[in-house]
Amino acid sequence: MKKQFILGLIGGLLGILTAVFVIISAVGNEQTLSGVQTALFSSLALMGAAIANKETRFAGWMLIFAAVFITLSVPLAGSLNLLFLYMPAVIILGIAGVLCFMEPIPEPVEPE
């Protein structure tokens, strides 16, 4: 198992757990919507983690997009306090995405 897979899995699960907590404790519709969006983008991160062993670059883009869009869903709720709840998942997903791009690209083998 690669580090990208492990970190993507941890970040995705942490994002989903945080989203469920936000949805359960939501006071308004905006916070509920932010939690639902975070759950959807965390599932995108889980899909990226699942393909990190085969399609490393594409998985990196998925993990980076998930981290960015989770961060962008916070101002929708009208409170930046949710940002502190989502930050561990965002940081872990960002690190996993960067690790995907740091892996060397294998050279294609030419037939003889």
pLDDT by residue for the chain (112 residues), tens digit each? 688 899 999 999 999 999 999 899 888 888 888 889 999 999 999 999 999 888 889 999 999 999 999 988 887 666 777 788 889 999 999 999 999 888 777 777 777 6
Q: What is the pTM of this model?
A: 0.86
What is the amino acid identity at position 18? T
* pLDDT attached to residue 76: 66
CA atoms lying within 13 Å on the CB side of residue 77:
27
Q: What angle do CA 51, 55, 58 make, to 5 degrees?
A: 95
Report in angstroms the alpha-carbon separations of 38 from 24, 43, 56, 79.
13, 9, 23, 15
